[in-house]
């Protein structure tokens, strides 16, 4: 589905990504973790075309998409969400979702399965309200619902659980699993390791711009290098 | 079982509440259209050359503000070239008639096509990498360039002295569009066309995408929307409509000059939109009435108008970012909506 080949990027003298290589298989649910400043967000930006890597190539569904602008990647089915609650503040919830469907991937209706997921996110009752009137948690769900509405084949979720309460987190986890069952490949970045470890089948760990571990969550979090990266496991315990 | 019943009940209540909301939100629109048609019919009923003249002027001015609303109100792009395209349209049409011997009506589609090409050529580089204040500066500079060019191409445009327009739209299907009242009907028809286009755009996927671009370009791009193409399309449409208004203005005023393209006019048009309410349907009309109508009726000397209107613009953008139309909407919908 997605293949990264020797991705390197630096801002000025600061090397944020160094020779990153990994493959995301079709239908996979992958977690991307790492301490603050590890380069997770930059990696997301590189994959989704907001930042073009100085070295390396990106392949999406066997097509070299290095240097593609964001909107073209989205139309191919590579879509991301953003940290925080990012919506079109002056549009109604309904219109936000309509905007997202406007340039959806061809043939991505998947038999109404998407609508079910959107309904699962429980946004129906707010449809006519303005997006800016939603609570932070709901606005975040709307952000995910919008990304889904594009008919994404590969969905990159940037800290989807941050700021959600326990109940909302559970709904989110359920939605992500259901989504994976519909055939969407998903990559999730999150600081909340509990959230991630219960969810994904494979985790990739970044530290200081390097890929330091790759494997099942239980194995990865037991690796000394990973524990060291998280400063003696403090973050691991804290989630 | 009981749970299901309760759920269907709440759903039914929700649906009826929604219907009610739709009904009450249609009301201001209906009142608005009635007021507009009443206003447009005044010069036809009331026999005064001055009123007909003023009505034509207001209708054309309002059409330009409606067109600006598409690029500035919908797409959020600060274009300062509206009067430049207004003047360009007037000259393009006049020169097509004078030099190519075309009919006034035949010159309109050609004028539109030429303007669209020019606007796309200016808009693409201006909106590809920049936006905000840069776009304002680039369109401002383009407008000044066009004005100076027109003023200096003596042989072609008649230079700073301007051009006399000797032709009229003539009689079409028994109606004399060349008469004062005919020109008034033409101007009103064009205003209604612009309003119709702006409403169609607003309700379309394209229009919603423009609003999305205005609110958050990055998010819009991440959802597959080609932000640059949408901005340029809005700019091109707005400029083309302004140019057609200019072509009609030419036959109405029978005289055009490079002064039509002056930057202060573009700024005034922006002011009208800000006062009326950017992004709303009624805003451009209200803004024009306040901006042009009020000083005309109050007979304020022209030099003081800009001063007066400058103060109004500052006050409106500070205290009422959604303009007069937004204020009315808030009054009508009252406590239902949260005030900004």
Q: Which helix (H) or strand (E) holds B239?
A: helix B227-253
CA-CA distances (angstroms) from residue B291 to A152, B81, B91, B264, B286? 48, 19, 25, 14, 8
Closest in B14, B221, B223 to A146, CB measured: B223
Beta bridge partners of residue B176, listed in sequence order: B171
Q: Of A107, A189, A86, A198, whose CA–CA distance to B222 is shortest? A: A86
Residue extents of the structural domains in chain A: 2-84+149-238
Planar angle of CA A167, A169, A170, nearest 5 degrees: 65
**CA B75/CA B62 separation, integer angstroms:** 19
Q: Of B247, B222, B151, whose CA–CA distance to A102 is shortest? A: B222
**Set of chain A residues whose Cβ sits within 8 Å of the Cβ of B212:** 88, 91, 96, 99
Residue B248, token pair as written in the block:
């009609």
Residue A166, token pair as written in the block:
């326990």
Better-predicted residue by pLDDT, B130 or A109: B130
**CA B276/CA B271 separation, integer angstroms:** 8
Q: Of B80, B138, B91, whose CA–CA distance to B114 is shortest? A: B91
pLDDT digits (tens, 9 = 90+) for A183-235: 889 999 987 777 888 889 899 988 888 888 888 888 888 888 888 777 554 44
The answer, for A100 touching chain B at a CB cutoff of 8 Å, is yes
Which residues 186-205 of A have a C-beta within 8 angstroms of B? none
Q: Residue B179 — very low, low, confident or very high, per pLDDT cuts 50/70/90?
A: confident
B43, pLDDT greater than 80? no
At residue A78, φ and ψ (nearest 5 deg) are -105, 105
What letter would DSSP give residue A64? Answer: E
- Structural fold of domain A2-84+149-238: Rossmann fold (3.40.50)
Our CA-based measurement puts residue B286 at a distance from the nearest CA of chain A, in whole angstroms, of 22
**CA B320/CA B124 separation, integer angstroms:** 32
Predicted confidence at residue B331, as pLDDT, reads 74
CB contact under 8 A, B224 and A74: yes
Predicted confidence at residue A211, as pLDDT, reads 87
pTM of the shown model = 0.86
Our CA-based measurement puts residue A104 at a distance from the nearest CA of chain B, in whole angstroms, of 7
Burial of residue A116 (number of CB atoms within 10 Å: 0-12, 13-18, 19+): middle
Q: Of B297, B301, B238, B302, whose CA–CA distance to B273 is shortest? A: B238
Closest in B18, B208, B224 to A75, CB measured: B224
Question: Is residue B224 within 8 Å of residue A74, measured between CB atoms?
Answer: yes
Q: Which residue of A has its CA nearest to B215?
A: A88
Cβ within 8 Å of residue B193, ≥6 positions away: none
Q: What is the ipTM of this complex?
A: 0.87
The answer, for B224 touching chain A at a CB cutoff of 8 Å, is yes
- Best residue in A102, A145, A148 to probe B by mutation, most B CBs within 10 Å? A102
Question: Is residue A117 within 8 Å of residue A41, measured between CB atoms?
Answer: no
Q: Are strands A185-189 and A202-207 parallel, antiparallel or unpaired?
A: unpaired
CB contact under 8 A, B223 and A128: no
At residue A122, φ and ψ (nearest 5 deg) are 65, 45
pLDDT digits (tens, 9 = 90+) for B181-197: 889 999 999 999 999 99
CB contact under 8 A, A70 and B222: yes
**Set of chain A residues whose Cβ sits within 8 Å of the Cβ of B220:** 88, 99
Average pLDDT, chain B: 84
The answer, for A69 touching chain B at a CB cutoff of 8 Å, is yes
Closest in B220, B222, B227 to A48, CB measured: B222
B15, pLDDT greater than 60? no
A131, pLDDT greater than 70? yes
**CA B38/CA B40 separation, integer angstroms:** 5
Share of chain B above pLDDT 70, in %: 85
Cβ within 8 Å of residue B140, ≥6 positions away: B80, B81, B263, B266
**Set of chain B residues whose Cβ sits within 8 Å of the Cβ of A75:** 224
Predicted confidence at residue A120, as pLDDT, reads 62
Question: Is residue B245 within 8 Å of residue B294, measured between CB atoms?
Answer: no
Closest in B14, B18, B215 to A88, CB measured: B215
**CA B238/CA B116 separation, integer angstroms:** 9
At residue A89, φ and ψ (nearest 5 deg) are -55, -35
CB contact under 8 A, A147 and B222: yes
Question: Is residue A123 within 8 Å of residue A91, measured between CB atoms?
Answer: no
Buried (b) or exposed (e) across A43-73, using 16+ Cβ within 10 A?
bbbbbbbbbebeebebebeeeebbebebbeb
CB contact under 8 A, A87 and B205: no
Q: Which long-range contacts (CB under 8 A, 24 or more apart) does A177-181 make?
A: A177/A29, A178/A116, A178/A117, A178/A120, A179/A117, A179/A148, A179/A155, A180/A27, A180/A29
**CA A101/CA A150 separation, integer angstroms:** 5
Beta bridge partners of residue A55, listed in sequence order: A8
Our CA-based measurement puts residue A107 at a distance from the nearest CA of chain B, in whole angstroms, of 15
Closest in B212, B221, B224 to A88, CB measured: B212
CA-CA distances (angstroms) from residue A232 to A35, A40, A195, A214, B241? 12, 20, 20, 19, 66
**CA B195/CA B62 separation, integer angstroms:** 10
The answer, for B64 touching chain A at a CB cutoff of 8 Å, is no
pLDDT digits (tens, 9 = 90+) for A147-165: 888 888 899 999 888 877 8
3-class DSSP assignment, residue B126 = helix
A236, pLDDT greater than 50? no
Share of chain A above pLDDT 90, in %: 18
To the nearest 5 percent, what fractions of chain A are helix, strand and coil?
40, 25, 35
At residue B202, φ and ψ (nearest 5 deg) are -60, -40
Our CA-based measurement puts residue A97 at a distance from the nearest CA of chain B, in whole angstroms, of 10
Task: Find the radius of gyration of the CA atoms of chain B.
Answer: 22
Q: Which residue of A has its CA nearest to B225?
A: A71
């Amino acid at each position: 589905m997605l293949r990264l080949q020797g991705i390197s990027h630096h801002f000025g003298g600061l090397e944020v990504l160094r020779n990153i290589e990994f493959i995301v298989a079709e239908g996979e649910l992958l977690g991307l973790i790492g301490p603050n400043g590890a380069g997770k967000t930059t990696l997301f930006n590189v994959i989704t075309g907001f930042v073009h890597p100085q070295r390396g190539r990106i392949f999406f569904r066997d097509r070299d998409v290095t240097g593609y602008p964001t909107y073209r990647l989205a139309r191919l089915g590579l879509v991301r969400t953003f940290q925080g609650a990012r919506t079109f503040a002056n549009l109604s919830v309904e219109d936000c979702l309509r905007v997202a469907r406007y340039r959806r991937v061809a043939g991505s209706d998947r038999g109404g399965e998407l609508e079910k997921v959107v309904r699962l996110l429980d946004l129906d009752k707010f449809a006519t309200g303005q997006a800016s009137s939603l609570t932070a948690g709901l606005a975040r769900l709307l952000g995910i619902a919008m990304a889904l509405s594009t008919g994404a084949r590969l969905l990159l979720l940037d800290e989807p659980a941050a700021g959600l309460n326990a109940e909302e987190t559970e709904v989110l986890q359920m939605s992500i699993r259901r989504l994976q069952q519909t055939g969407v490949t998903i990559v999730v970045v999150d600081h909340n390791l509990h959230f991630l470890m219960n969810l994904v089948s494979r985790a990739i760990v970044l530290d200081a711009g390097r890929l330091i571990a790759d494997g099942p969550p239980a194995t990865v979090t037991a690796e000394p290098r990973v524990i060291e990266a998280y400063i003696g496991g403090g973050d691991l315990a804290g989630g | 079982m009981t749970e299901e019943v309760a759920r269907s009940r709440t759903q039914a209540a929700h649906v009826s509440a929604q219907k009610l909301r739709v009904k009450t939100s249609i009301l201001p629109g209906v009142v608005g259209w009635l007021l507009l048609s009443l206003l447009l019919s005044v010069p036809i009923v009331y026999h005064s050359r001055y009123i007909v003249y003023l009505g034509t002027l207001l209708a054309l001015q309002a059409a330009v503000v409606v067109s600006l609303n598409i690029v500035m109100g919908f797409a959020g792009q600060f274009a300062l070239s509206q009067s430049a395209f207004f003047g360009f349209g007037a000259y393009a049409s006049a020169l097509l008639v004078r030099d190519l011997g075309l009919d006034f009506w035949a010159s309109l589609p050609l004028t539109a096509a030429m303007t669209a090409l020019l606007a796309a050529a200016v808009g693409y580089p201006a909106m590809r990498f920049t936006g905000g204040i840069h776009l304002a500066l680039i369109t401002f500079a383009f407008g000044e360039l066009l004005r100076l060019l027109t003023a200096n191409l003596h042989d072609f445009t008649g230079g700073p002295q301007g051009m006399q327009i000797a032709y009229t739209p003539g009689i079409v299907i028994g109606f004399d569009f060349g008469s004062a009242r005919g020109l008034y009907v033409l101007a009103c028809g064009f205003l209604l066309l612009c309003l119709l286009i702006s409403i169609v755009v607003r309700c379309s996927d394209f229009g919603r995408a423009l609003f999305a671009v205005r609110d958050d370009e990055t998010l819009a791009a991440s959802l597959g929307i080609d932000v640059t193409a949408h901005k340029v399309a809005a700019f091109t449409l707005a400029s083309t409509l302004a140019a057609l208004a200019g072509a009609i203005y030419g036959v109405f005023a029978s005289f055009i000059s490079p002064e039509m393209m002056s930057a202060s006019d573009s700024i005034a048009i922006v002011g009208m939109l800000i006062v009326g309410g950017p992004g709303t349907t009624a805003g451009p009309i209200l803004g024009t009435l306040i901006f042009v109508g009020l000083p005309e009726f109050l007979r304020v000397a022209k030099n003081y108008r800009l001063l007066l209107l400058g103060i109004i613009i500052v006050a409106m953008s500070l205290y009422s970012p959604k303009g007069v139309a937004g204020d009315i909407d808030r009054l009508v919908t009252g406590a239902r909506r949260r005030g900004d």
